[in-house]
Amino acid sequence: MPDKTDHWLPPIPASKSDERDHFLQPSPPASADKRDHWLPSPPDASQSVELKVVGVSFLNKDGTSRQEIIQTLREKDKIILRREPDNCYDRHAILVETEQGKPFGHISRDFAEYYSPILDARHEPTWPGHVKLIIGGYDDRPTRGVVISIIPPLPPHVKA
């Protein structure tokens, strides 16, 4: 399990905490009334965030298999997060693509809701990252999953 002091993650509603498996955030201070309103500032702009990619078992719009794309990925491969403001399911959607532009999933709705306004305000529709971990792909668990790592985008008024 990653050391929680090395990673900063924005809060998510408690009901969805199981989405991130073991990629957890520190608990809010005891004085916080509601977890949803507690938003720590990243202490250092160089801290990485690890996110589990969702939607990896779906097909892409062009019919390509996300699982086949994931099979070509290796740890440390570069990836791109791309804003999808016209996504019919989620106006905050952020697509995860290979460096060659092949989509293989999205970041979760909770994180997309947090990061999309920052990317929009920065006028940057893409953001870089890399593959941290490939999970699954075994006889008992054939579907593969991906954990990515990014240096989170800071709001435009925050200097790195």
Q: What is the CATH number of the domain that holds 149?
A: 3.30.70.2330
Give percent above pLDDT 90 in the chain.
55
Partners of 130 in beta bridges: 78, 149
Q: Is residue 160 part of a domain?
A: no
The number of domains in the chain is 1
Q: Is the pLDDT of residue 154 over 90?
A: no
Q: What whole-number distance in Å separates Cα of residue 25 and Cα of residue 14?
A: 11
Q: Is residue 66 part of a domain?
A: yes
Lowest mean pLDDT among 4-8, 41-45, 125-129: 4-8
Q: Name the CA dihedral angle for 57, 58, 64, 69, rounded to a multiple of 10 degrees.
A: -30
Q: Is residue 30 part of a domain?
A: no
Give the Cα-Cα-Cα angle 124, 50, 97 (nearest 5 degrees).
50
Structure tokens at 142: 């054939």
Question: What is the arithmetic mean of pLDDT over 26-53?
Answer: 56
Q: Is residue 143 part of a domain?
A: yes
Q: Is residue 128 part of a domain?
A: yes
Q: Is residue 7 part of a domain?
A: no
Any idea which residue has 């075994």 for tokens?
A: 138
- Bigger pLDDT: 33 vs 103: 103
* Mean pLDDT (the chain, rounded): 78
Q: Is residue 119 part of a domain?
A: yes
Q: Is residue 60 part of a domain?
A: yes
Q: Is the pLDDT of residue 158 over 70?
A: no
Distances (CA, A) of 148 to 28, 43, 54, 104, 129: 24, 21, 11, 12, 7
Please give the residue range of the domain that contains residue 66.
Answer: 49-154
The model carries a pTM of 0.71
Band of pLDDT at residue 16, cut at 50, 70 and 90: very low
Backbone angles phi, psi at 103, to 5 degrees: -75, 140
Residues 65-112: tens digit of each pLDDT: 999 999 999 999 999 999 999 999 999 999 999 999 999 999 999 999
- Bigger pLDDT: 101 vs 40: 101
Question: What is the arithmetic mean of pLDDT over 50-60?
Answer: 96
